[in-house]
Amino acid sequence: MLQIQEVEFAYGGSQAVAGCTFDVPDRKVTGLIGPNGAGKSTLMEIIAGGLTPSSGRIVFDGTEIQGLGRIRVARLGIIRTFQTPRELTRLPVMENLVFAAPNQIGEGPLQSLFRRSRWAAQERELRLKAESLLEWVGLTKLREEPAGSLSGGQRRLLEIARAMMAEPKLLLLDEPSAGVFPAVRKLIAERIREMVERGITVLVVAHNMAFLSDVADDVVVMAQGKVLRRGTLSEVRADESVVAAYLGGGHVGGTS
Amino acid sequence: MLYFIADLLALGAINAIMAVGLNLQYGQAGILNFTYYTFVAIGAYIGAVTTMGHPPVPASEETFILQWNLPWPVALVLAGAVAGVLGLFMVLVVIRRLRSDYLAIVTVSLGFIVWDLITNYVPLFNGANGLFNVPYILNGATASEITYTLEVFGVAMVVLAVCVWVVRSIFRSPYGRVLRAIREDEVVAASFGKATTSSRVWAFVLGCVMAGLAGALLVFYVNAWNPQGFLAEESFILMAAIVIGGPGNYWGAVLGTFVFVELLSEIERYLPNFGNGALVGAGRAVLIGIVLIVVIRFRPDGLIPERWLRWYRVPAGGGQGGAAGSQSRGEPRRRLGWPWLGQRSEI
């Protein structure tokens, strides 16, 4: 589905991603973990088209997508959520969802004026779909509320529903469980598993091990911009070099 | 008194056209355009020079380009078109590289460039002296002052109706939603594959077209135009009217101009002049500032907030009613193709 090949990126002098290579297999949840500053979020941003890598390739469904820009990457079916939820705060929850649907008729100025009957019909379908997604994440009652008034956990759920509305092939989730109540975390994990059953491929950055063990088929550990280890969660947790990387980069294979 | 009211109505309708256009740019698309009145001026000049004919009527010392003698509806459309094209050029220069605040600063400087050009390059629009003796439209040359005022009011209301229809259609359409999404968070809009640049460009251009239309109507009404008519201050007053009326809401824009621009320009005559006539204008500016601060403090979303517009009303047709509408009426919910989303969970 997605191949990341020798990707490098530097912010000024600091090498955030230094020759990172791994595959994201089709219809699986791949977890991406690593200590702070390992380059996970930067890599997500590169995949999403927000940053252009200085070298390396990112291949999605056989096409190279590095440096295409957010809009074209999104149109290929790669949809992301954000580390800090970014709702359209002054728009109601419903608008936040319907907006995300791809290829809408009436998104151009002329169409909006002269293709009214066509986009109106589409609008009804999209709202029904949005309704069912709201129910799916348990936000039905908040349909009309401005998204800015939601709590942290509700925002995470809304982001997931919104991403689903965009009919993604590959979903990039950046810390979907950060800062939420354990019950909501469980729900989010459940929903992610359901997405995979629907044929969506997921790459998820997370810190919470309980959450990862619920969702991830496979985990990639990054440290200092490189892939350190890959395997199931229990495998990588048992790996000494991974533990060392979390405890402090200088002690790989360390003494204690 | 009757004339006074008619004059208020006519100017109010023309100002409302401007406000609706600026509201599309600022309220919907989130583009801070501090030189909106420049496009009004362009419309006014084009409206003037395409109807004044050659030689200018009556023969005068005025020098200006074109000197066409077109019927006024054609001139009106042309004024809108030219303002739109200039808006397109301007926005293409600035929008790709610049974001909100920086873009606003560039609009200010572009406004000054146009102002200086028109003022100093006399062959264009007769420089600082401006154009006068712009012909009346309809039967204005022979009709009484009040009849002509009411006629202009009628024409302006027709144009305003068209503009409100356009903005309203956009507001309710997926295009309007994309504009609002870009306004809220451009990165998110792009991350869902929305055409961020072209959406904003067209909103800007449409707003400029409306400015041009309003400018042409204004010059047909007052029959003269010079650079003193489009000082930077005018754009700020319009912007203030929108902030007060309710950015994003087209009715707010209309209300804002009728109440704010009109009342405040009329209130001028009641302000004390402190023994110096020039202070009256300053007093008005101070008053505008005070009103603005009060409104932003107590009603930050304006007098008619955007959320008062009905978000979910789907245009009639198909006999289903809107999805949200059928919800609120308690009808059974239809499910379309997402049966797997069955289970309900409440947080």
Contact B174 A74 (CB under 8 A): no
Residue B335: predicted pLDDT: 36
Q: Please give the share of chain B, as a percent, with pLDDT higher than 90.
A: 33
**What is the spatial distance between Cα B48 and Cα B151, in angstroms, rounded to a whole number?**
18
As a whole number, mean pLDDT of residues B72-80 equals: 94
Which residue from B270, B241, B267 is spatially nearest to B256, judged by alpha carbons? B241
Contact A109 B347 (CB under 8 A): no
As a whole number, mean pLDDT of residues B143-165 equals: 92
CA separation, residue A56 to residues A5, A67, A221 (Å) = 6, 11, 19
Q: Among A116-130, B218-232, B305-319, which stretch is predicted with the lowest mean pLDDT?
A: B305-319
Q: How confident is the model at residue B153 (pLDDT cuts 50, 70, 90)?
A: very high
Between B95 and A86, residue with greater pLDDT? A86
B214 membership: H or E segment, kind and range? helix B196-222
| Contact call for residues B212 and B81 (beta carbons, < 8 A) | yes
Sign of CA dihedral B164, B166, B171, B173: positive
**Of the partner residues A80, A98, A105, the one whose CB lies closest to the CB of residue B177:** A98
Using H for helix, E for strand and C for coil, what is the string for chain A? Answer: CEEEEEEEEEECCEEEEEEEEEEECCCCEEEEECCCCCCHHHHHHHHCCCCCCCEEEEEECCEECCCCCHHHHHHCCEEECCCCCCCCCCCEHHHHHHHHCCCCCCCCHHHHHHCHHHHHHHHHHHHHHHHHHHHHHCCHHHCCCEHHHCCHHHHHHHHHHHHHHCCCCEEEEECCCCCCCHHHHHHHHHHHHHHHHCCCEEEEECCCHHHHHHHCCEEEEEECCEEEEEECHHHHHHCHHHHHHHHCHHHCCCCC
Mean pLDDT of chain B: 80
Mean pLDDT of chain A: 90
Interface probe with A: pick from B88, B345, B346, most Cβ of A within 10 Å: B345
Q: What pLDDT, in 10s, does the model give residues B83-96?
A: 999 999 988 887 77
As a whole number, mean pLDDT of residues B133-145 equals: 80
Contact B323 A131 (CB under 8 A): yes
Q: With the CA atoms of A78, A82, A86 and A92 taken in that order, what torsion angle do they form, in degrees rounded to the nearest 10?
A: 50
**Of the partner residues A95, A127, A133, the one whose CB lies closest to the CB of residue B323:** A127
**What is the spatial distance between Cα A136 and Cα A220, in angstroms, rounded to a whole number?**
29
Residue B321: predicted pLDDT: 35
Which residues on chain B are in Cβ contact (under 8 Å) with A94?
311-312, 324
Tokens of B199: 């959406």
Between B103 and A20, residue with greater pLDDT? A20
Contact B318 A121 (CB under 8 A): yes
User: Which residue's entry shows tokens 């998104």?
Assistant: A107
Domains, chain A, in order of start with CATH, read 2-87+168-251 (3.40.50.300), 89-149 (no CATH)
Could you list the beta-strand ranges (E) of chain B: 131-132, 224-225
Judged by a CB distance cut-off of 8 A, whether residue B96 touches chain A is no
Residues of A numbered 50-89 whose beta carbons fall under 8 angstroms of chain B's beta carbons: which are they? 50, 69-72, 74-75, 79-80, 82, 86, 88-89
As a whole number, mean pLDDT of residues A152-162 equals: 92
Interface probe with B: pick from A82, A84, A132, most Cβ of B within 10 Å: A132
**What is the spatial distance between Cα B205 and Cα B203, in angstroms, rounded to a whole number?**
6
Structural domain boundaries of chain B?
2-231
Q: Among A28-42, A128-142, B85-99, B267-281, which stretch is predicted with the lowest mean pLDDT?
A: B267-281
Residue B284: predicted pLDDT: 75
Task: Please spell the DSSP secondary structure of B274-329, one letter per residue.
Answer: TT-THHHHHHHHHHHHHHHHHHHHH-TT-SS-GGGS-SSPPPS-TT---HHHHHHT
B38-58 in b/e form (b: 16+ CB < 10 A) is: bbbbbbbbbbbbbbbeeebee
**Is pLDDT above 50 for B323?**
no
Q: From B183, which residue of chain A is nearest by alpha-carbon distance?
A: A88
CA separation, residue B340 to residues A117, B87, B243, B300 (Å) = 30, 49, 45, 42
Judged by a CB distance cut-off of 8 A, whether residue A131 touches chain B is yes
As a whole number, mean pLDDT of residues B39-59 equals: 83
| Contact call for residues B134 and B223 (beta carbons, < 8 A) | yes
**Is pLDDT above 70 for B285?**
yes
Contact A99 B178 (CB under 8 A): yes
Which residues on chain A are in Cβ contact (under 8 Å) with B169?
112-113, 116
- Residue A3 CA to chain centroid, in angstroms? 16
Interface probe with A: pick from B184, B199, B335, B343, most Cβ of A within 10 Å: B184
**Is pLDDT above 50 for A201?**
yes
User: Which residue's entry shows tokens 């500053």?
Assistant: A37
Between B238 and B41, residue with greater pLDDT? B41
| Contact call for residues B193 and B87 (beta carbons, < 8 A) | no
**Is pLDDT above 70 for B256?**
yes
The CB-side HSE value for B47 (13 A sphere, CA atoms) comes to: 35
Q: How confident is the model at residue B58 (pLDDT cuts 50, 70, 90)?
A: low
A25-36 in b/e form (b: 16+ CB < 10 A) is: eeeebbbbbbbe
**Is pLDDT above 70 for B251?**
yes
As a whole number, mean pLDDT of residues A233-239 equals: 88
Residue A221: predicted pLDDT: 93
Between B305 and B118, residue with greater pLDDT? B118
Which residue from B291, B241, B308, B270 is spatially nearest to B12, judged by alpha carbons? B241
**What is the spatial distance between Cα A88 and Cα B178, in angstroms, rounded to a whole number?**
11
**Is pLDDT above 50 for A256?**
no
Q: Please give the share of chain A, as a percent, with pLDDT higher than 70.
A: 96
| Contact call for residues A173 and A81 (beta carbons, < 8 A) | yes
Residue A74: predicted pLDDT: 95
**Of the partner residues B174, B185, B318, the one whose CB lies closest to the CB of residue A86:** B185
As a whole number, mean pLDDT of residues A213-222 equals: 92
Which residues on chain A are in Cβ contact (under 8 Å) with B333?
128, 131
Q: Between B2-23 and B145-172, two packed helices, what is the crossing angle to 10 degrees?
A: 20
**Count of Cβ atoms closer than 10 Å to residue A128 Cβ:** 22
Residue A202: predicted pLDDT: 95
As a whole number, mean pLDDT of residues A219-241 equals: 90
**What is the spatial distance between Cα B148 and Cα B9, in angstroms, rounded to a whole number?**
12
Q: What pLDDT, in 10s, does the model give residues A208-217?
A: 888 999 999 9
Enumerate the β-bridge partners of residue B344: none
Q: From A101, which residue of chain B is nearest by alpha-carbon distance?
A: B192
Q: How confident is the model at residue B107 (pLDDT cuts 50, 70, 90)?
A: confident
Q: Among A45-49, A98-102, B251-255, B282-286, which stretch is predicted with the lowest mean pLDDT?
A: B282-286
Between B175 and B323, residue with greater pLDDT? B175
Judged by a CB distance cut-off of 8 A, whether residue A26 touches chain B is no
Q: How confident is the model at residue A249 (pLDDT cuts 50, 70, 90)?
A: low
Can you tell me the ipTM of this complex? 0.91
Q: Among B25-39, B65-79, B302-316, which stretch is predicted with the lowest mean pLDDT?
A: B302-316
**Is pLDDT above 50 for B318?**
no
**Is pLDDT above 90 for B246?**
no
Tokens of B72: 């006024």
Q: Edge to edge, what strands does the sheet with A226-231 contain? A: A78-80, A170-174, A201-205, A29-33, A218-223, A226-231
As a whole number, mean pLDDT of residues B14-36 equals: 90
Q: How confident is the model at residue B326 (pLDDT cuts 50, 70, 90)?
A: very low
Contact B324 A139 (CB under 8 A): no
Q: What pLDDT, in 10s, does the model give residues B265-284?
A: 777 777 666 667 677 777 77
User: Which residue's entry shows tokens 């705060």?
Assistant: A89
As a whole number, mean pLDDT of residues B156-179 equals: 93
